């Protein structure tokens, strides 16, 4: 009798949100996501009414196919409210007659600490774009529409916020930004339950503007390929250089520190330019338990000679030191228990991710499957390896996707995990305020963005 296949522990979520025709019903196969409460923060005259008409939908893959999607639809009234809000930014109202509004959504995080964050943008010719963070909190089944960084500020490093749960289990968001005037400087913006309940009238809305920061490592532009929180620390990692961090619990000034990658993994400036768009093909960083782990795949001329290295950061942040835990040739991984039985190709490994328990999730990039003009559908194998036991834990596949911009999500994505949600939500949100791999219970740690 054939062995019973384990259910899929993960799905691949497309980074673009299906917006359809805004007000139409999604086609068959979409499931509406429960929203017990909807609120808007710093979203103008019409934000409160507009968010009430938003609906979220999901369509998950059918194991072993992992490709999945999110969709947003809105009522006709919500569409009109957003349209009225964007018209307020147009100085030439007569030009609006012949142009309609468009919208798009890009997923920034999915089920990280129970939060799914989407950048939602509305565009209309001759108007200023309206951009928001749309946050779904699975803990309270709540949907929050939040002003996208304060006026006169622009995001830097990454548009993906760092998320953190506070003592009441409500959420906080932290975004790196740059003040555009009077003097450009870098600051940290914080959106907390307190700032959402007591919004400022100076244009910062639900955001607290913390003091600007300087660090010699920040003189050159830093791209945060991943961003996440660990305990009370915010982490922004440039996978070619190192990670910067700060204490998120301080109320005003944030002193930033910087930890370089292991010496053998550093790239020189020329390599950084060449590899910047490809760095997440070979590298990742995330939390495993209470530690930060870093994965680097050193490719070689022959795929079999490539080496997978896994490091952990020891000594906390006072005396940080990288300790190498694994160094395995790809040819050895091809011989792991279960690899041959799964009929997997002996091909290069790419797009590494880590599970909460420290297992390695990778794509096997079979060169023979690369798309050609007569090959409209391409399938890639997605595998999870237990590196210490040297065995394949699980495998599936995905197709019709652009992997570098997909997110890995747990198989219980957006499933109910709570009770008395609305009561808990209302307790943590005073009336004064308007409105992520699961294997045996272990879930994937998504290097933030992980838009991979």
Pairing between β-strand 242-247 and β-strand 102-112 as defined by DSSP bridges: unpaired
DSSP assignment of 22-48 equals: SSSPP-TT-EEPP-SEEEEES--TTHH
- Dist CA 452 CA 432 (whole Å): 39
- Dist CA 371 CA 350 (whole Å): 17
- Dist CA 150 CA 176 (whole Å): 12
pLDDT at residue 219, as a whole number: 60
Peptide bond into 64 cis (omega under 30): yes
Structure tokens belonging to residue 140? 């309270």
Q: Could you give the angle at the alpha carbon of 370 between the alpha carbons of 60 and 20, nearest 5°? A: 35
Q: Hey, which residues does 208 pair with through a beta bridge? A: 190
pLDDT at residue 422, as a whole number: 41
Domain boundaries, the chain: 10-445
pLDDT at residue 338, as a whole number: 97
Q: Is the dihedral of CA 163, 16, 13, 343 positive or negative?
A: negative
H helices of 245-390, in order, are 269-275, 279-282, 330-333
Under-70 pLDDT residues of the chain: 1-5, 94-98, 182-184, 213-221, 251-254, 268-277, 367-378, 400-405, 415-452
- Dist CA 15 CA 406 (whole Å): 5
The answer to whether residues 436 and 112 touch, using CB atoms and an 8 Å cutoff, is yes
- Dist CA 312 CA 293 (whole Å): 4
Peptide bond into 43 cis (omega under 30): no
Alpha carbon distances (Å) from 97 to 91, 123, 125: 13, 15, 10
Model confidence over 101-158: pLDDT tens digits? 899 999 999 989 999 999 999 998 888 899 999 999 999 999 999 999 888 888 888 9
- Dist CA 178 CA 175 (whole Å): 10
DSSP assignment of 192-244 equals: -HHHHHS-BTTTTBT-EEPPP---GGGSS----SEEEEETTEEEEEETTTEEE
Length of the chain: 452
pLDDT at residue 269, as a whole number: 58
pLDDT at residue 360, as a whole number: 95
- The SS3 of residue 264 is helix
Rg value, the chain, Cα: 22
Helix, strand and coil content of the chain, in percent to the nearest 5, comes to 15, 40, 45
Sheet of strand 242-247: strand arrangement: 226-230, 233-238, 242-247, 257-260
- The single-letter DSSP state of residue 315 is S
Sheet of strand 406-410: strand arrangement: 31-32, 54-59, 67-74, 10-14, 406-410
- The single-letter DSSP state of residue 297 is E
- The SS3 of residue 253 is coil
Residue 403 φ then ψ, to 5° = -60, -30
pLDDT at residue 80, as a whole number: 94
Residue 183 φ then ψ, to 5° = -125, 120
Q: What is the largest CA-CA distance in the chain?
A: 73
Model confidence over 437-451: pLDDT tens digits? 333 333 444 443 333
- Dist CA 48 CA 55 (whole Å): 14
Listed in sequence order, the residues at least 6 apart from 87 whose beta carbon sits closer than 8 Å to its beta carbon are 93, 96, 124, 127
Structure tokens belonging to residue 279? 């760095």
Long-range contacts of 323-330 (CB under 8 A, 24+ apart): 324/262, 325/293, 326/387, 326/388, 328/387, 329/304, 329/305, 330/303, 330/304, 330/305, 330/306
- Dist CA 117 CA 138 (whole Å): 11
pLDDT at residue 45, as a whole number: 93
pLDDT at residue 179, as a whole number: 81
Centre a 10 Å sphere on the Cβ of residue 38 and count the other Cβ atoms it contains: 17
- Dist CA 197 CA 203 (whole Å): 15
């Amino acid at each position: 009798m054939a062995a019973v296949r384990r259910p899929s522990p993960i799905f691949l979520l497309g980074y673009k949100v299906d917006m359809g025709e805004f007000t139409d019903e999604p086609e068959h196969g979409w499931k509406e996501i429960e929203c017990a409460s909807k609120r808007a923060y710093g979203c103008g005259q019409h934000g409160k009414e507009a968010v009430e008409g938003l609906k979220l939908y999901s369509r998950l893959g059918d194991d072993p196919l992992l490709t999945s999607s999110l969709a947003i639809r809105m009522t006709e009234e919500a569409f009109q409210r957003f349209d009225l809000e964007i018209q307020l930014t147009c100085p030439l109202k007569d030009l609006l007659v012949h142009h309609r509004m468009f919208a798009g959504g890009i997923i920034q995080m999915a089920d990280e600490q129970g939060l799914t964050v989407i950048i939602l943008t509305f565009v209309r010719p001759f108007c200023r774009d309206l951009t928001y963070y749309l946050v779904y909190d699975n803990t309270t089944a709540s949907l929050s529409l939040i002003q996208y960084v304060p006026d006169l500020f622009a995001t830097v490093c990454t548009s993906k916020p760092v998320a953190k749960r506070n003592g009441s289990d409500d959420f906080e968001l932290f975004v790196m930004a740059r003040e555009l005037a009077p003097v450009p400087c870098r600051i940290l913006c914080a959106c907390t339950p307190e700032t959402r309940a007591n919004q400022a009238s100076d244009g910062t809305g639900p955001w607290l503007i913390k003091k600007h920061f300087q660090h010699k490592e920040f003189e050159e532009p830093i791209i945060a390929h991943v961003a996440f929180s660990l305990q009370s620390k915010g982490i922004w990692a440039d996978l070619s250089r190192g990670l910067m961090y700060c204490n998120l619990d301080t109320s005003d000034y944030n002193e930033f520190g910087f930890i370089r990658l292991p010496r053998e993994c550093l790239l020189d400036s020329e390599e950084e330019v060449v590899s910047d768009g490809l760095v997440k093909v070979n590298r990742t960083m995330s939390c495993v338990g209470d530690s930060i782990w870093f994965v680097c795949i050193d490719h070689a001329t022959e795929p079999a000679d490539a080496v997978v290295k896994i490091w952990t950061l020891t000594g906390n942040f006072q005396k940080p030191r990288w300790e190498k835990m694994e160094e395995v040739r790809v040819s050895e991984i091809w011989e792991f228990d279960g690899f041959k039985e799964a009929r997997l190709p002996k091909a290069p490994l790419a797009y590494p991710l880590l599970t909460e328990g420290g297992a390695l999730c990778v794509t096997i990039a079979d060169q023979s499957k690369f798309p050609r003009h007569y090959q409209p559908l391409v399938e890639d194998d997605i595998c999870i390896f237990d590196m210490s036991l040297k065995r394949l834990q699980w495998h599936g596949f995905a197709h019709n996707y652009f992997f570098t911009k997909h997110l890995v999500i747990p198989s219980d994505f957006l499933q109910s995990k709570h009770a008395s949600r609305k009561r808990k939500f209302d307790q943590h949100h005073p009336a004064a305020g308007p409105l992520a791999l699961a294997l045996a219970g272990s879930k994937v740690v998504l290097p933030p963005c992980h838009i991979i």
